[in-house]
Structure 1
């Protein structure tokens, strides 16, 4: 792997892990719960309506809320870093074409 690609992968992984809590908070998945009037509130409402009155344990909304309250689990951090690294690799590969 050339140095530019390696740097792109590393940068993408780090940015993804650092940005994840910021993005969750901005969406309304906060440490104190789901923020009223937020995207998270809309998602929770839709999920509750679809399931007949509550957000189902293990659903996307429940997982995002858990991450908003407690932070990312080690396994989730690894996945986020992997996705960020893949994006960094794709970005560096695209930059090499131009």
Structure 2
């Protein structure tokens, strides 16, 4: 199974976990939750490259370069392991794991589903 297929499956599973709270509105909530899950998965897949974190390193003049510079200045010349900059660079080089995509789908779906549920009551 390709990573893209797995991401789609994870997104669909996350959207099915949202239970309708009211007849009629519940289906809209579940649809919005699926969209939130898909958006979160897309953000995890696209954000590092959009910020300048890539397989060959951090692109010169990018937002990522500015983040790395600020992190290095704040930490005495180095970037801390596990920091946002280090995590984004790791995602830029190797991509995300299936569990990261699953967590993003669950969080995005739950957040959007809860927001829509809250504002429709």
TM-score by length of 1: 0.83
Q: Quote the Cα distance in structure 1 between the aligned partners of 2:98 and 2:44.
A: 13
Pick the aligned partner of 1:29 from 35, 38, 53.
53
Which structure is richer in relative contact order (CA contacts within 8 A, separation 6 or more)?
1
Q: Does 1:38 align with 2:62?
A: yes
* 1:12-41 alpha-carbon deviations (Å, 9 max, x no partner): 101211232222211111122111101100
Q: Does 1:72 align with 2:91?
A: no
Q: Quote the Cα distance in structure 2 between the aligned partners of 1:32 and 1:25.
A: 11
TM-score by length of 2: 0.70
Gaps of 5+ in 2: 1-19, 21-25
Offset, 1:11? 1.4
Pick the aligned partner of 2:81 from 34, 37, 57.
57
The alignment yields a C-alpha RMSD, in angstroms, of 1.8
Q: Quote the Cα distance in structure 1 between the aligned partners of 2:37 and 2:98.
A: 14
Offset, 1:96? 3.3
Gaps of 5+ in 1: none
